[in-house]
Amino acid sequence: MSAEIETSLRGPRAYDLARRAVAAMEKHKVWPTALNFELWSHYVAAQDSPLAAEINQMIEAGEAFTDTVGESLAERFLPKAKLSGEILEAGDALTKELDTVSRAIQSARSSSEVYGQQLASASESLAGEDTGKIKTMVETLTQATQKVRQENATLESQLADTTAEVSRLREHLEQTRRDAMTDGLTGLANRKAFDEALERACAGAEQAGGVLTLAVLDIDHFKVFNDTWGHQTGDQVLRYVASVIGRAGASPRTAARYGGEEFALVFPGEGARAALAVLEEIRAEVSSRVLKRRSTNEDLGAVTISAGLAERRPGETPASLIERADAALYASKRGGRNRTSAADPIAAAA
């Protein structure tokens, strides 16, 4: 179905779909950003698609179509990272093939040079002998060898140009891959990158018998803040909180925007006690700053975050670890917010 939609968006129906998409966005008060236009173009092109069902459900519930919502829908229904990864793998394979061909040409060139030298030597040794036909044949072969050498040199030059172009393409594909794994609003890893990082960390911990802790963090009362001050100011708050979390999530940790106003931190090789100390530093820093609205310089007050953490148990799957960390987060919310909770007693986990 996705391929059919893409074909429609590039065929005779494209203009009609574009007009319908703009009309639908205007009707439901959705900003006509590039991402929203793509989402709503898919929405009007396939009313029976999962994306359309999701949007229809939001419309019926009267939910606002914010930038955060749009990004979440795009990650779920417009997956492009897989394509970028496949292209990158194809680029790597092409480069390997070019390297193989280059080595083969170098070998052939070296062999032809040796062969040419041998023929030239044989031709000289036959000088003065009554072997005119043989000498003519050797000279002919020598000329042919020289021609092959010239052709090899030309081919090698062309290959060098092609290899340089492939290298530039690989750099572009690598940047595309990084973009596909990065949350556009906050600059942190996106949900796909988080899933992959957690999968790797769990596999590494299981193989090495090491520890691993996962934390999930959520901005308290963010919806109320968004409704009061507007989505642009809400995005400003998301970026601020993400910057604090990002500084704490330097490699080998992974800091990600898990979805909406929720974030995640993966702590490979660190137990619950160490993760708790980091989360408390993040929570204290976020709540210590009085934010100002950029457009008017109005005081917005301070925002707080709640967090939950879980230390991985032997044999535990990523899904189970996420579930326990989420449960700890909701325990923080039920306990009054602006606090950190652990899935297990820290003393026992440590």
Residues annotated as catalytic (active site), given as ranges: 261
Q: Give me the residues paired with residue 341 across strands.
A: 308
Which 8-state DSSP code applies to residue 308? E
CA–CA separation, 308 vs 63, rounded Å? 27
Closest CA to 305 of 215, 222, 220: 220
DSSP conformation letters of 180-241: HTB-TTT-SB-HHHHHHHHHHHHHHHHHHT--EEEEEEEETTHHHHHHHH-HHHHHHHHHHH
* Residue pair 305/338 in contact by the 8 Å Cβ criterion: yes
Residue found under tokens 């000279």 = 139
Q: Give me the residues paired with residue 301 across strands.
A: 291
Q: How many CB atoms lie within 10 A of CB 144?
A: 13
| Strand ranges across the sheet with 212-219 | 254-259, 262-268, 212-219, 305-311, 340-342
Q: Which two tokens stand for residue 228?
A: 């009061």
Q: What's the first-to-final CA gap in the chain, in angstroms?
A: 50
At residue 156, φ and ψ (nearest 5 deg) are -65, -40
Q: Which two tokens stand for residue 200?
A: 């790797």
Q: Which amino acid is at 236?
A: Q
Closest CA to 35 of 68, 1, 83, 8: 68
Q: Which amino acid is at 38?
A: E
